[in-house]
Amino acid sequence: MIRVVLAEDHTLIREALAKMLTASRRIEVVGQAATGTEALEAVTRLQPDVLLLDVTMPEKDGMQTLAEMAGLSVPTKAIILTMHEDEAHGVRAIRSGAAGYVKKSANLDELLAAIEKVHRGERVVPEEVEAALGKKRSDHPAQVLSSREFQVMEHLALGKTNREIAEMLSISVKTVDTHRGHVLKKLRLRNNSDITRFAIQHGLMPV
């Protein structure tokens, strides 16, 4: 069986998905996590074959969790589960170290197939993400941002204050302000309202 840790902050969804995966008799759910921090702890302790990771998580989001997971000496491969429909998030996930990118609109058979492929060492991504990965990094305006700048941009687009973002990402308010400045400069925007409009226009609003 393939050993899986399931990281999803919504308890009902996480527990239902765990039951469905277990019922397939092809997957053993060895651990569950409700936050990015818990996901990293579970991966370190259990060293599963695959981590199913929701992109929108408390404490550390999926991208930050991926970045920190890269520094762990574990054999675990990660699959990002997401509601995002745009390819920019998929490209960012794969470039951050994910082996798979699966939309939550997928059915159980599709998810099981993705887990098995990733376990075999294959990459699983939607066609539009695969196509975008073949393009230059600069082809999408947001690709000029670093992973942290992208995170800050998403939160600013939702109207969160620098202090709120600092607490969510466990960084200083000054660091958030620095990242905000980089976002404005790189995307040639003037203020937070412009950031929100940019995120909406390019399908980058977090879900």
Q: How many CB atoms lie within 10 A of CB 55?
A: 23
Which tokens is 90 given?
Answer: 């998929």
Query: Residue 119 is which amino acid?
Result: H
pTM: 0.71
Per the CB < 8 A criterion, the answer to whether 21 and 4 are in contact is yes
Query: Residue 5 is which amino acid?
Result: V
d(CA 32, CA 8): 8
* Model confidence pLDDT, tens digit, residues 4-26: 999 999 999 999 999 999 999 99
Contacts of 184 (CB under 8 A, 6+ apart): 190, 191, 194, 195
* Model confidence pLDDT, tens digit, residues 116-160: 999 999 999 888 887 777 664 555 677 788 778 888 998 899 899
